[in-house]
Structure 1
Amino acid sequence: MAEATVDEQRVPAPRPTVPRRLLAAATRLFAERGYDRTSVQEIVEAAGVTKGALYHYFGSKEDLLHEVYARVLRLQQERLDAFADADAPVERRLRDAAADVVVTTIEHLDDATIFFRSMHQLSPEKNRQVRAERRRYHERFRALVEEGQRAGVFSTATPADLVVDYHFGSVHHLASWYRPDGPLSPREVADHLADLLMRALRP
């Protein structure tokens, strides 16, 4: 195989698109300073774009706040749908989904922190939209629990709604204690929490 030329080796990586730069800047600033204390001017300066670009792609600072959380939820919804639709026993599908939401939350911990700290600052309309998106995710997760309960592989002693609240209560609490330099990796935390859920569901 021919070696790359010097010019080919020096080709820089593509620069992130304007929306991605705005989201990255907003996420960092919201996490560091808080949504209230971050101005539109600070966001555009950090992203290296104009205010016109921000308003073109997002419309407002509130739209940026909404997208910070929505992009992670979209990712998690796509992954949950893939696990739920897989050709595998329901125990495996639920455990995979339970572990995955932990890993993806930790991988986007700033986003989760911003959301739980600032969700109340969304307009009523956007707040309803976010709640509907979260509800769809939780309902798909709950359907896996109910499938296992109907099949007799999961205990029916605890209602499926409470099982979902139990697991996601742990997930939502991650932002308050998990540290990247701590003793547990994201996968180890995910395995522990997923195993706790599966043990709680044993008949």
Structure 2
Amino acid sequence: MTATAPTPGTEQRPVPQRLLATATRLFADQGYDRTSVQEIVEGAGVTKGALYHYFGSKDDLLHEIYARLLRLQQERLDAVASGGGPVEQRLRDAAADVVVTSIENLDDARIFFRSMHQLSPEKQRQVRSERRRYHERFRALIEEGQRAGVFHAATPADLVVDYHFGSVHHLSAWYHPGGKLTPREVADHLADLLLRALRP
């Protein structure tokens, strides 16, 4: 096995960030199952003891790669949902934000959807619980608009959530930086599609 080159730009970061940056690069480049712990620690410039101190296992690294993205998205959704303004605008902002943050962290999303089945059963349950909380907050915005008559109620809110997040989850399969559309343009198109589907 050849030595793993250090991940560029990680030298001055704290050890947990170096490990995450290196694991993200390796998992994205060669897959979770084909990446060894030894390659991760060599790329991060640390010892195996440091990895096990901060994360415990390769499985923990995979979980954290996704969890950090979901934490960011949850914080932003909570801020948008609880802010002032019409519910239609808040839902549009939330729908666009999850697209932009997913594209800006495309490796994280791609790794997760390609490798989630390799998490331990306990961590898979944690992930499902974390995602459920996010989806429930998003669904609450739709239901608020339906109660107010801003959105039609013919389609159940759960199906509307699945409709939008199906598009979001598919981003990692087709979006490439440098394409015709910027992340913001993709976000605007998908958010507008969602709002058009909900208007009476």
**TM-score of the two chains, using structure 2 as the length reference:** 0.94
RMSD: 1.1
2:102 to 85, 102, 105: 105
SS of aligned partner of 1:93: helix
Q: CA deviation at 1:82?
A: 0.2
Distance 1:41 1:191 in 2: 42
What is the match of residue 151 of structure 1? 148
Aligned structure 1 segments of 4 or more residues deviating by more than 6 angstroms: none
**TM-score of the two chains, using structure 1 as the length reference:** 0.93
Distance 1:117 1:45 in 2: 24
SS of aligned partner of 1:15: coil
Distance 1:109 1:86 in 2: 27
Deviations 1:53-75 (A, max 9, x none): 10000000000000000000000
What is the match of residue 3 of structure 2? none
Deviations 1:2-21 (A, max 9, x none): xxxxxxxxxxxx92111001
Distance 1:41 1:117 in 2: 22
1:32 counterpart = 2:29: yes
Deviations 1:47-104 (A, max 9, x none): 1111111000000000000000000000000000000000111001000000000000
1:15 counterpart = 2:12: yes
Q: Structure 2: where are the runs of 5+ without partners? A: 1-10
Distance 1:128 1:87 in 2: 34
Kindly provide the amino acid, as one letter, of the partner of residue 83 in structure 2. Answer: A
Distance 2:190 2:153 in 1: 20
Distance 1:51 1:94 in 2: 45
How many pairs align?
Answer: 191
What is the match of residue 170 of structure 2? 173
Q: Structure 1: where are the runs of 5+ without partners? A: 1-13
Distance 1:85 1:98 in 2: 15
2:159 to 149, 159, 162: 162
2:70 to 38, 56, 73: 73
What is the match of residue 114 of structure 1? 111
1:55 counterpart = 2:71: no
Higher CA-based Rg: 1
Q: CA deviation at 1:157?
A: 1.3
What is the match of residue 9 of structure 1? none
Distance 2:85 2:50 in 1: 46
